[in-house]
Amino acid sequence: MTNRVPDGLLKKIDVVIGTRPEAIKMAPVVAELKERKNCTVRIIATGQHTDMLTQALDYFSLFADVNLGIMKKSQSLDYITSAVIQGVGEVFDDVRPDAVLVHGDTTTTFAAALSAFYRQIPIGHVEAGLRSEDMTCPFPEEMNRVLTDRIATWWFAPTVWAEKNLLREGVCRNKIYVTGNTVIDALYSTVEKNSPPKAECLKQLVDQERFLLLTAHRRESWGKPLESICSAVLEILKRHGEYRVLVPMHKNPSVRETMRGVLGGDERVILCDPIDYPDFVWALSHCTLILSDSGGVQEEATALCKPVLILREVTERPEAVQNGSGILVGTDSCRIISEANRILSDREVYDDIRKRCERNPFGDGKASVRIADVLLQE
């Protein structure tokens, strides 16, 4: 069962976001909708991640019309889910929108979609159809996106592979729109500005020709798996002494404790707080190799022709692996070290990966235009 597509033009669209990645990926969509006539857009921020979300919105000159501010210390998944359902529901009841847009696979995404579904408000799912086929990896994101797709009205699939997943699950073909991924819209617009880095942790890398970028935060990697990742990084630095590594640490205490414990004693490791999006794009653009368990980074790395070691056993973005830009290594230190050494030691291997990246399957920077066209029937 899905919510009925409304007759006529949509006039009031609510965009619900809760985390920094959602803000970055939905900002181009919001900007495009605001450019269209006869359409008002309301941004509802749940505050699942407070500081990082606001930081991202500020960069795109956007602000939350409503901020639920649900974030609290050691928040559980069931707390986030219930707080978002109730909080967003009250906002919908106050001023009912014609449609609700959610993005991807966060707990905010699923809970906001469920709240809209309870009120029979049509739901547009941006980045629909991604599947790892493993409900435990990534956790709980795989469950969130599967359930959100079950109750959506419009499915905005970033790739043909995502579209095939939806068709296999019984979604009506004429309600699936292959748009490309909106993160590529945000990335290209940021690269075009070519801004120098502002964060102090990056200024020491401006003249550094060779550095690695590490991001890791997945819940399933907390503890021993993350220790293994960090130990592998130290070994890579030992074998390739000309490199440094930049590590913007997620604010989760479990992640930061492990990273500081393993990596904190090496002067070649730059541990820092999360950096602004334009600074992060600078780091992506200038590093030699990326190690990450992030989904979006797999797409960004491919678009920037950078090899990325995917610190997971499975990925919902197999296009990166098939394209050759992404290499699944999991969290086993031996596999991470082996692949990093292969790429960093052989220029032909490195150049071959970069060449394959030229066939970017994730979009052309115009996904937001396509989404707005569908919603506003232009």
Q: Could you list the active site residues? A: 105, 127, 141, 217, 219, 250
Query: What is the DSSP annotation of 124-163?
Result: EEETTT---S-TTSSTTHHHHHHHHHHT-SEEEESSHHHH
The greatest distance separating any two alpha carbons of the chain, rounded to the nearest whole angstrom, comes to 63
Structure tokens at 188: 């290209």
Contacts of 8 (CB under 8 A, 6+ apart): none
Q: Which residue is listed with tokens 């790429």? A: 343
| Host H or E run for residue 272 | strand 269-272
User: Closest Cα partner for 320 from 287, 298, 303?
Assistant: 298
Query: What is the DSSP annotation of 151-218?
Result: T-SEEEESSHHHHHHHHHTT--GGGEEE---HHHHHHHHHHHH-PPP-SHHHHTTTT-S-EEEEE---
Rounded CA-CA distance 330/309 in Å is 9
Please give the C-alpha separations between residue 284 and each of 213, 215, 246, in angstroms, as whole numbers: 7, 11, 10
3-state class percentages of the chain: helix first, strand second, coil last, to nearest 5: 50, 15, 40
Structure tokens at 315: 């990925």
DSSP SS3 for 294: coil
Contacts of 232 (CB under 8 A, 6+ apart): 333, 334, 336, 337, 340
